[in-house]
Structure 1
Amino acid sequence: MFKKILVANRGEIACRVFRTAKAMGIGTVAVFSDADRDALHVTMADEAVHIGPSASAESYLVIDKIIDACKQTGADAVHPGYGFLSENKTFCEALDAAGIAFIGPGVVAIESMGDKITSKLIAEKAGVNTIPGYTDVVKDAEHAVEISNGIGYPVMLKASAGGGGKGMRVAWNEEECRDGFERATNEARSSFGDDRVFIEKFIQEPRHIEIQVMADSHGNAIYLGERECSIQRRHQKVIEEAPSPFLTPEVRKAMGEQAIALAKAVDYKSAGTVEFIADANMNFYFLEMNTRLQVEHPVTELVTGQDLVELMIRVAAGEKLPLTQDEVKLNGWAIETRVYAEDPFRNFMPSIGRLVRYSPPTGEGVRVDTGVYEGGEVSMFYDPMIAKLITYGKDREEATGRMVDALDAYYIRGVSHNISFLNALMMHPRFVAGKLTTNFIAEEYPDGFSPDLVPQDDPAICVIAAAVINKKFRDRCANISGQLPSHEYRPSNDWIVMTDNGEANFSVSVDTTVTPVIARTEGKEYLVDTDWKLGEPLFKATINGKPVCIQVDRDGWLFKMFHRGAEKEVYVVTPQTAELSQHMPIKEPPDLSKFLISPMPGLLVKLNVKVGDEVKAGEELAVIEAMKMENSLRAISDGVVKAVTAEAGDSLMVDQPIVEFE
């Protein structure tokens, strides 16, 4: 067995590998860039080596620096995690030349499966179902149109060396095909240094289902069930679960056997994932094989009881797999949500900054894989993932319920995050019914996400909670000299709770002298049993016998409430104040229609206009790259450029002006 493992990665996956290595009694080594000097994975490791500047191209992607770190620390094996160098054959060859073991598959498997064109040809030869398409390299945009017309729209343009949703575009006509080819090649070149693109038929009403495989160097290979990964946004997975609510045992077996056939065709050794796309009739087709550990591997671990990282380490050390296919059992249900530093109310733009408050959920069946901590920073240099939240239950209903509760209790402040969106997805009737496709988000939220779209079992729950919290604050203030205005020294039991910018008002009476607290509104009585303390960010209570957990941020009479995917601003005021507020003028937001502003932090890679240019609605004005994804900014109306306040190569902040129009 290895004596010391270096993880050539960062964040939550580095922490994840370290946990298993430590449990196995193996020494651990972290590598870190300038931006990660104080990162959690650095503090978790037994040793840590600085490998360069913050940009990954100058640190985590530099093979020589990883090899040098191994030599400095005496690490005899490297686990690559995912991303960065995890599927880089040159890295594997360099490790082999240095006498250092690679905890992953061999070079042949990485090289053949890393190229989508080659992998599809191998899959076809191995008897694996494949999607109709053009498996050679597309020469240019016109060639792409010619091929697509032959296949029939819609088509998918995909980077040959791609992954993680980068270098992928769906085209429904010739114009989108030309534009998609340019975007896909640019993203592929930026992300992978390889701009080759191929085209295949786009399957409608698709489900994304993947099979986890594990193989050793003794000829043994098994599959460990499937993962349903259909909930995606821009080809990036958002929610994963195991098993799939869609597959029958017969289809699962057929998929698993084809996955094993492909693994054996490339002499696979280690953990890997064979991804399929399935249509509504359970016809399934090979997409790609990821020759590494997947982000969503925890759901497989929970339903199989296997530590995939441990299996990878043991296989890399030359051991045989400890179980056969007949011994693989699927028990219970697991769901994973990806918690990102992004703003779902601003088209999911990445958010960077310090985690001022960070309190992950705990409890039965709850697992949090993270690489951050309170006071740490989400950097602009890397993927904005904060954590993976995983819940387990005896069935899908229990796993879903635990996920909803865990998301309610996940308290993050300092950066924007997508927890409200995740909870809205979990509560959506279509998700609850298991009627999933990769188009789910686009179909259910065609105009973007808004908290108004989140159904609430009882909208009064947040109203009652705010009133009770307000009353507890007022009761305390009444006993402290000078904390309340003179006319409020005797705290009232009667309050007006204003929601939806004052459009909805609730008269609420609260009696905190009894246990449980009694609150009345709209002719209905609520019994609120809670031991909540003033200042706690989570209001945990039982309201009319039902447990609730509401995130609360208080600013005077204003309460920001977060519950079950909904976000509400609630004012709790006296009846007199509520009456006077009706006469207050509404402040109009500033007019930004004459500006092109950056919707996200990122790099301005292209600016297509200059002062004096006339632009037409729909014309591309600029391209911003954020997290290695290109985002095209287009004119919303005709106009003339008055001023340009940024130039290509600039790093932009959120809402930074780029162009001003006359």
Structure 2
Amino acid sequence: MFEKILIANRGEIACRVIRTAQRLGIKTVAVYSDADASSLHVKMADEAVRIGPAASAESYLVIDKIIAACKETGAQAVHPGFGFLSENAAFVKALDDAGVVFIGPPTKAIGAMGDKIESKHLAKQSNVSTVPGHMDLIKDAEEAVRISSDIGYPVMIKASAGGGGKGMRVAYNDAEAREGYRSAQNEARSSFGDDRIFIEKFIEEPRHIEIQVIGDKHGNIIHLGERECSIQRRHQKVIEEAPSPFLDEKTRAAMGSEAVALSRAVNYYSAGTVEFIVDKDKNFYFLEMNTRIQVEHPVTELITGIDIVEWMIRVAAGEKLALTQEQVKLEGWAVESRVYAEDPLRNFLPSIGRLVRYQAPEAEGDLNGRPLIRVDSGVEEGSEISMFYDPMIAKLVTYGPDRLSAIKTMRTALDSFYIRGINHNMGFLSTVMSQERFVEGRLTTNYIVEEFPDGFLGIELDKDNLNLLVSVAAVLQTNLSEQIALAAHINGYRGVDIPVELTVFINREGHSVVIDLQDDGYLVSGDDFETLVRGDWAPDQLVFFAEVNGEETVVQVDRQEASLSLTLSGVTVEALVLETRLARYNELMPEKLPPDLSKFLLSPMPGLLVSVAVEEGQTVKAGEELAVIEAMKMENILRAGKDLTVAKISASAGESLVVDQVIIEFE
């Protein structure tokens, strides 16, 4: 076994590898860019080596710097994580030449399967069903349009070296094919240093289901079942689960057998994932093979009880697999939500900044020796979410005896996950978890587009949750008033007179209630409801864990100057609680209106202004491209929301933008 390994990555996957290495008694070396000098993975590792500036092309993607860090620290092996150099055959060869072991598959397998085009050819030669498409390289946008027309729209334009949703575009017509080719190529060049593009038929209403494989250097290869990864946005997975609610045993066995056969064809060892597109009739087509560990590997670990990272390390050290295929058992159900720094209400644009407050849900209890809640993260309170890297904050994973149990635990865990300082997508995730279609398992890769055709517009409170928040606000404010009165009048303290009539303003709408003290909590009575709230809360607590009418309830609490901000199931409301005799004065207060920004195109995020597509004096139509901003390795096209005339261009291509910086002013 190795004594010391280096992790050639950052963020949550670096922390993930470090945890397993520590459990195995292996010392670890972190590498970091200037932007990551204070990152969690640097603090966790036994040693850390600076490898360059913030840009990944000058740090995490520079092979020579990783090799030099190995030599400097005496690391015997390198775990690449995912992304960056994890599927780079030249990196593996350089490590081999330096006498350092690569904790991953052999160079031949990476070359054959890591390249999306070559892997398609190999799959065909192995009689594996593949998606129709043009597997040869495409030289320019016009050829992309011609090929797309020949295949038949819609098509998927993909980077050969792509992954993680980058370098991928769906096109439904010639214009989208032309634009998609350009954007996919630019993203691929920026993220992977490889701008080769291919095109294949986009199968509508498909499921994205993948098989986890793992092999050793002695010819043993097994699969660990499947993962359902159909809920995607911009072709990047958002929610994953294992097993799939769609597959039957026969289909699972067939897909697993094919994945193992394909792996065996390239003498594969280490962890890998064979991805399939599955249609409504359970016909499956080979999509690609990822010759690395996947972001979503925790759901497989929970249902199998197997630490995939551990076996990557053991295989690299020459050990044989300890399990046969017959010994692999799938127990329970696991669901993973990717928590991203992004704003769902602004078309999921990345959100960059500091995690002012960060409190992850705690794992309470276990099943089959596995935690019911698992959080894989590479950040902590005070961490910076940088414009240079992926916007993932954490992977939140829940486990249960069945799918419904895992989903229920996920809802509670999302409510418990407290993040402030940046925008995040947990409101969106909570919405999906509560949707009837998701709960029933009716998933496709078009799920988000179909369920949110106009984008995510937020969540409307239903009557039950409104009454719940009214009741919780009344209880918390009464509790707070009690403690303030106690602090101010220690001697002769009488407390707040109860019962008391209150008016609870939720987003300025008043609700009259009476709150009374019960032996086991507070009883809040409204016009058409009664709510019994039990639970302890102190003003310094960020989350109120309560029992409301016998049901476990979690509400996030932010204290404002005179009000409370409450968050439940992704919905945030402002709650002002007043004694009813004072409430009428609040109704006289004027409402402050936001400024009119309709005449400006503002940068929705910090980033690089790649291009401006209009000129001063030009009239543009709704939907036309205005500018392109690159942030977190993704290109974001900004379009006109209505017909406009450009009055002034205030920023130039190549300029670094701050959030809300004016790019274009309109007449």
**Could you tell me the TM-score, scaled by structure 1's length?**
0.96
Of residues 637, 656, 661, the one that matches 1:651 is: 656
Contact 1:478 1:491 in 2 (8 A): no
2:368 maps to what in 1? Answer: none
1:5 & 1:556 partners in 2: Cα distance?
A: 50
Question: Which is further off, 107-116 or 288-297?
Answer: 107-116
Q: Cα deviations across residues 97-137 of structure 1 (Å, max 9, x unaligned)?
A: 00000000111111121221111010111121101111112
1:607: how far off? 1.6
1:150: how far off? 2.2
1:267: how far off? 1.4
2:240 & 2:463 partners in 1: Cα distance?
A: 24
Please state if 1:414 is matched with 2:421. Answer: yes
| SS of the residue 2:81 aligns to | coil
Question: Residue type of the partner of 1:552?
Answer: V
Of residues 528, 531, 536, the one that matches 1:531 is: 536
Of residues 564, 582, 601, the one that matches 1:559 is: 564
1:189: how far off? 2.1
1:580 & 1:272 partners in 2: Cα distance?
A: 65
Question: Residue type of the partner of 2:421?
Answer: G
Please state if 1:452 is matched with 2:459. Answer: yes
Contact 1:478 1:490 in 2 (8 A): no
Alignment map for 1:270-419 (pairs within 5 Å): 270-362=270-362, 363-364=364-365, 365-419=372-426
Structure 1 segments unaligned to the other structure (5+ residues): none
2:419 & 2:436 partners in 1: Cα distance?
A: 26
2:468 maps to what in 1? Answer: 461
Alignment map for 1:127-526 (pairs within 5 Å): 127-362=127-362, 363-364=364-365, 365-453=372-460, 457-481=464-488, 493-499=500-506, 501-502=507-508, 504-512=509-517, 514-526=519-531
Q: Cα deviations across residues 255-314 of structure 1 (Å, max 9, x unaligned)?
A: 011111111111111100001111111111111100000001011011111110111111
2:463 & 2:157 partners in 1: Cα distance?
A: 40
Alignment map for 1:38-187 (pairs within 5 Å): 38-187=38-187
1:246 & 1:636 partners in 2: Cα distance?
A: 39
Contact 1:493 1:511 in 2 (8 A): yes
- The verdict on how the C-alpha distance between 1:456 and 1:492 changes in structure 2, with shifts beyond 3 A counting, is closer
1:489: how far off? 8.4
1:450: how far off? 3.1
2:462 & 2:532 partners in 1: Cα distance?
A: 23
| SS of the residue 1:68 aligns to | helix
Question: Which is further off, 595-604 or 522-531?
Answer: 522-531
Q: Cα deviations across residues 33-58 of structure 1 (Å, max 9, x unaligned)?
A: 11111111111111111111122111
Contact 1:424 1:454 in 2 (8 A): no
Question: Which is further off, 224-233 or 366-375?
Answer: 366-375
2:596 maps to what in 1? Answer: 591
| SS of the residue 2:218 aligns to | coil
Question: Which is further off, 351-360 or 71-80?
Answer: 351-360
1:145 & 1:315 partners in 2: Cα distance?
A: 45
1:586: how far off? 3.1
1:604 & 1:442 partners in 2: Cα distance?
A: 27
Question: Residue type of the partner of 2:613?
Answer: N
1:571 maps to what in 2? Answer: 576
Contact 2:431 2:570 in 1 (8 A): yes
- The verdict on how the C-alpha distance between 1:111 and 1:431 changes in structure 2, with shifts beyond 3 A counting, is same
| SS of the residue 2:48 aligns to | strand
Question: Which is further off, 618-627 or 313-322?
Answer: 618-627
1:603: how far off? 0.8
Alignment map for 1:572-651 (pairs within 5 Å): 572-651=577-656
Contact 1:471 1:512 in 2 (8 A): no
Contact 1:367 1:389 in 2 (8 A): yes
Contact 1:32 1:48 in 2 (8 A): yes
Question: Percent identity of the aligned residues?
Answer: 61
1:471 & 1:597 partners in 2: Cα distance?
A: 42
| SS of the residue 1:452 aligns to | coil
Contact 1:6 1:75 in 2 (8 A): yes
Contact 2:388 2:633 in 1 (8 A): no
| SS of the residue 1:389 aligns to | strand
Question: Residue type of the partner of 1:531?
Answer: D
Please state if 1:541 is matched with 2:546. Answer: yes
- The verdict on how the C-alpha distance between 1:289 and 1:453 changes in structure 2, with shifts beyond 3 A counting, is farther
1:495: how far off? 1.1
Q: How many residues align?
A: 656
Contact 1:456 1:564 in 2 (8 A): no
- The verdict on how the C-alpha distance between 1:319 and 1:478 changes in structure 2, with shifts beyond 3 A counting, is closer
Structure 2 segments unaligned to the other structure (5+ residues): 366-371
1:635: how far off? 2.4
1:20 maps to what in 2? Answer: 20
Question: Residue type of the partner of 1:586?
Answer: E
2:475 & 2:359 partners in 1: Cα distance?
A: 23
2:556 & 2:643 partners in 1: Cα distance?
A: 44
Q: Cα deviations across residues 333-369 of structure 1 (Å, max 9, x unaligned)?
A: 1111111111212221212222221111111211111
- The verdict on how the C-alpha distance between 1:541 and 1:636 changes in structure 2, with shifts beyond 3 A counting, is closer
1:516 & 1:576 partners in 2: Cα distance?
A: 25
Contact 2:388 2:631 in 1 (8 A): no
Q: Cα deviations across residues 594-618 of structure 1 (Å, max 9, x unaligned)?
A: 1111122211011233434443433
2:4 & 2:643 partners in 1: Cα distance?
A: 62
Question: Residue type of the partner of 1:10?
Answer: R
- The verdict on how the C-alpha distance between 1:55 and 1:142 changes in structure 2, with shifts beyond 3 A counting, is closer
| SS of the residue 2:626 aligns to | strand
1:29 & 1:94 partners in 2: Cα distance?
A: 18
Q: Cα deviations across residues 421-473 of structure 1 (Å, max 9, x unaligned)?
A: 11111111111111111111111111222333565754211110001001112
Q: Cα deviations across residues 44-76 of structure 1 (Å, max 9, x unaligned)?
A: 111111111122111111111111111111101
Question: Which is further off, 297-306 or 381-390?
Answer: 381-390
| SS of the residue 2:459 aligns to | helix
2:168 & 2:463 partners in 1: Cα distance?
A: 36
Question: Residue type of the partner of 1:508?
Answer: V
Contact 1:351 1:416 in 2 (8 A): yes
Q: Cα deviations across residues 224-274 of structure 1 (Å, max 9, x unaligned)?
A: 000000111111111110000000000001101111111111111110000
1:661 & 1:189 partners in 2: Cα distance?
A: 33
2:359 & 2:608 partners in 1: Cα distance?
A: 31
Contact 1:472 1:512 in 2 (8 A): no
